[in-house]
Each structure stands twice: as C-alpha cells, then as structure tokens.
Amino acid sequence: MKSKKAAFAVLTVVLGMIGLGSVIADSRMKREVTFSKDVAPIFFSKCADCHRPNDIAPMSLLSYKDARPWARSIKEKVLSREMPPWSPDPRYGEFSNDCRLPQSDIDTITAWVDQGAKEGNPKDLPAAPQSLTGGWQIGKPDVTLQIPEEWTVKPGDPDNYINFFVPTNFTEDTWVQAAEIQPGNRKVVHHVIAFVVTPQAMAKRKEAEAQGRRTGASSVMYIDGTLRRTKMDAPVNDDGCNTDGASRTRRGGGGEEAEGALLAGYAPGKGIDVLPAGTAKKVPAGSTIMFQVHYSAFAGSLEKPEKDRTRMGLVLAKEPPDKMLITSAVANTLFKIPAGAGSHEVTACMTVPIDLEVVTYMPHMHLRGKDMKYEAIYPDGRRETLLWVPKFSFSWQTMYYLKKPLSVPKGTKIIVTAHFDNSTKNKYNPDPGKEVRWGDPTYDEMMIGWFDIVVPNPAKMLKPAPAGKAASESK
C-alpha cells in the first residue's frame, strides 16, 4: 500500500515534469514568428540588395505581399544555403562580407514558414533598406559625379558598353576613402566601372581622336562598336603562367601613369567600395572619370524603352593617407575556348614586385565561367590557396573583402586558374557551337582575377629632415 502510494507520487512528479517539459517545448514552438517582426529584418539586410523591384532576382522580398507566395521556396533555398548566394569554399580565406546566414536566421525563417508564414503587426516592420530610399550607403558624399546625359535602352537592343566622361574639376590630388555608384536604372544597367583618366591620358585620347585613330585597338584587339574584342586569329595562349604575353597585369588608383585606374565598380550584390581605415585611392588633380556602363536589355525582358542616368558619390580622406590602395588584376586575354569544351583551363600569373598587402579578391568571367582559384607561391616555396570559387556564377560579381589583410612579400607569384564550360551542359551558354575569345560582350569571355592591394603612400615616405635642421627652421 505504502509503496504503491510512493510509486504513485513518483509517477505524478515524473508526469508533472514531462508535462512541464512539453509546456516549455510548446511555448517555444508557439512563439509566434512573424514577417514584420522577425523575418523582414533578415530579408532587408541579407536579401534586399537583389530581391527588390526591378532588380536581378525574380521577386522582391521587401513586403509581406511580395514575399508570402514564395515562402516554401524561401525555406528550401535558405536550408540548402543556395540563398543568399555565397560562392567561396569556406576552407580558404575569411571574409568580412561573408553573407551566409547564421543558423539562428535559418531557424527563424523555417519556423515562420512552418507556422504558415504570418504577417504579424506591420508596425513592427524595420525601416526600409537605405539603398532603396535613394540614400547613400557611404554617408553624405563630399563629391557627386553624374553621367552627363540620359541614356536610353530600347527593347531588343544588343549589349552595349558606353563610356561617359565626367570631369572631376579637382584642382589638387584627391584621396578617395569610399565610393558608391548608384545605377540610374537597374532594369538596364548591368554593371558600371568608374576609371580614373589623368589629364595626360585624356590629352593622348583627344590627340588620337583628332587623328581619327580609335584608342585601345591593337594587333590582337579590335573595337567592334564600343566593344573591345580579341581577334579570332590572334595568337593563342591558354597557359599565361608558363609563357610570356598572355598574362596581363593591370594597375589602378595609383601614380601619374594611371590610365585605366579603377576607382569603383557597381554590380548586383557587389556592395559599395569602402576602403580599409587609413587607406585611400588617389585621383590626380585635373582627372576625368570615365564611367563605363554596361547596358543590357536582359534577353528580351524589356517591354518599353528605359532611360538611365547613373551617378557616383565619393567620400574623401581629409588628408593624404599613410597607405594607398591600388586595384590590380592578373588577366589572360589570349585564351581560346574550343566549341563544346566542358572544362577548358586558362591561367594567368604575376610576380609581386614589392612587399604589399592584399585586401580583396574579385574573380571576373562571363557566362561560360565555371570556377576560379587564386593561389600564392611565396619566395620560400610554400604554396597557398587564397580563394577558391568552385561554382562561379556570372550573376554574382562579388568582391571578397579579407577580414585581415594578407601580407605578400616581394617575389611572391600569384597564380589565377580558371575553367570555362562551353558545353551544352551549361544552361547559361549563349552558343556552345562557337569558339570563344576575350571580349567585352557577355557572349565573349573574360578571365580576370581582380585584387586590391595596399602599399605605402610615396607622398608620405619622404625622408625626415636631418637632425639639427628641423622642418620649422627651413620654412
């Protein structure tokens, strides 16, 4: 009798605990997850850059009404980590703009969908993303430069690169700390690159134009409309690392010779250009900015003519920085991809001429780009993978910002290896039946490993005045 009672008491306690446990579990499950309160903050910060009206993604995720029909697909894509797109193999390099969702965000989105994707109270919605309101993500710019005229793209227009020249009117050398390019019309602007053209380079350009020569054409390149392309019968060199001529290095944002210096770029999902603290890019006095805008009618998706007027905001450094940031690239312009090739390898190399720090990488290929790897062989023979993008997608022209700058000593060899899929298996392939060479249009190819480097600013490296002759005395 006694023991029965005791057993009953124990049972009651145990049952009570189970009951309590299930109440806790229940309340956790039942904590209502709503769009307005829990999910919108994730979508606004992690998805809105592409999932907004008239952008590259198929739907906007900014409002409940727009997002709700996609709930099932959203759960699937965040669980499989296909969205947001993040391409590098996580074994190599740590990046500050790594946009992979933390598990807690994935859990929140999953719970939201499982609970029937409810809206909640619209009053809980966070403020709309700044980039959407036309505001500047870099903060208030010190200088704004805009292309001088509206450009119109009509339905059915072919891909086009248009160069717009905008004088800076800078009377002295100017140091740019942050830059933001705002496409005037995301329906037709595929990407934009802002190049610095020095007064000397501009004079050369004008002289060539006056003489009726087209600038940029050479024995291997020709200009087709405004598009630069490698001639079909130009020498072929797929392995730019073992022979001369194929690898080309390109510098930007630097010295007086800086024709073609790259100042800033815009592409969907790329983000703005904010340089690491204490560094800046130089724009020499009197320079002109060349906006190279790639207009695309996006394969027939355009219904009526669209106008664009792209602009760029710059935040300037208050004084010349100790370090200067230069956009460099290793590229191969002499490859030839055979028709139908499933995995055609192309390499490019560069030997680093001085000690420097690498702060970003940005692989660039077109629709046949399959993968790209950056490696370093250090002077002591050690070989290291720096970045490995195993499934490159033309849709994400992402710039990868290193969490910590990588020190690269003089004499290090940087190797960039790319593969191209020109077969029918590549669903983005414009024409598997064609041999493909370098060219601006997306139906040609490119092979560029862009990277930003930081070097000491020569303007700050002047020797201090010898002892006994202080700077103040000599004034």
Tell me which residues touch ligand HEC (CB under 6 A). Answer: 46-47, 49-51, 56-58, 70, 73-74, 77-78, 83-85, 101, 268-269, 395-396
Beta bridge partners of 337: 436
Beta bridge partners of 314: 143, 179
> Is 361 exposed, middle or buried (CB count within 10 Å of its CB: 0-12, 13-18, 19+)?
buried
Q: Which CB sits closer to ligand HEC, 56 or 302?
A: 56
Q: Which CB sits closer to ligand HEC, 81 or 460?
A: 81
Separation of alpha carbons 416 and 376, rounded Å: 9
Q: Which CB sits closer to ligand HEC, 298 or 443?
A: 298
Separation of alpha carbons 191 and 264, rounded Å: 11
Q: What minimum distance in Å lies between the beta carbon of 56 and ligand HEC?
A: 4
Q: Which CB sits closer to ligand HEC, 196 or 389?
A: 389
Q: What minimum distance in Å lies between the beta carbon of 37 and ligand HEC?
A: 17
Beta bridge partners of 153: 306
Q: Which CB sits closer to ligand HEC, 68 or 206?
A: 68
Q: Which CB sits closer to ligand HEC, 57 or 223?
A: 57
Q: What minimum distance in Å lies between the beta carbon of 215 and ligand HEC?
A: 34
Q: What minimum distance in Å lies between the beta carbon of 41 and ligand HEC?
A: 11
Q: What minimum distance in Å lies between the beta carbon of 422 and ligand HEC?
A: 20
Q: Cα angle at 390 between 388 and 395, to 5 degrees? A: 105
**Of the candidates 292, 95, 79, the residue with the CA atom closest to the CA atom of residue 189:** 292
Alpha helices in 211-280 (DSSP H): none
Q: Which CB sits closer to ligand HEC, 73 or 226?
A: 73
Task: For 64-110, give the DSSP string.
Answer: HHHHGGGHHHHHHHHHTT-SS---S-TTS--BTT--PPPHHHHHHHH
Q: Which CB sits closer to ligand HEC, 73 or 169?
A: 73
Coil vs helix vs strand at 113:
helix
Q: Give the CA radius of gyration of the chain.
A: 27
Q: Which CB sits closer to ligand HEC, 95 or 195?
A: 95
Beta bridge partners of 283: 174
Q: Which CB sits closer to ligand HEC, 57 or 143?
A: 57
Q: What minimum distance in Å lies between the beta carbon of 452 and ligand HEC?
A: 20
Q: What count of other Cβ atoms lies within 10 Å of the Cβ of residue 373?
A: 20
Taking phi over 0 as left and psi of -120 to 50 as alpha, with beta for the rest, 174 belongs to beta
User: Angle 103-114/71-79 helices, nearest 10 degrees?
Assistant: 150
Strands 323-332 and 279-283: parallel
227 in Cβ contact with 440 (< 8 Å): yes
Q: What minimum distance in Å lies between the beta carbon of 13 and ligand HEC?
A: 45
Q: What minimum distance in Å lies between the beta carbon of 374 and ligand HEC?
A: 21
Q: What minimum distance in Å lies between the beta carbon of 49 and ligand HEC?
A: 5
Sheet strands (E) in 270-428: 273-274, 279-283, 288-295, 306-308, 311-316, 323-332, 344-351, 356-364, 369-377, 383-389, 400-408, 413-420
Q: What minimum distance in Å lies between the beta carbon of 431 and ligand HEC?
A: 20
Tokens in use for 292?
């190279």
Q: Which CB sits closer to ligand HEC, 58 or 116?
A: 58
Q: What minimum distance in Å lies between the beta carbon of 55 and ligand HEC?
A: 8
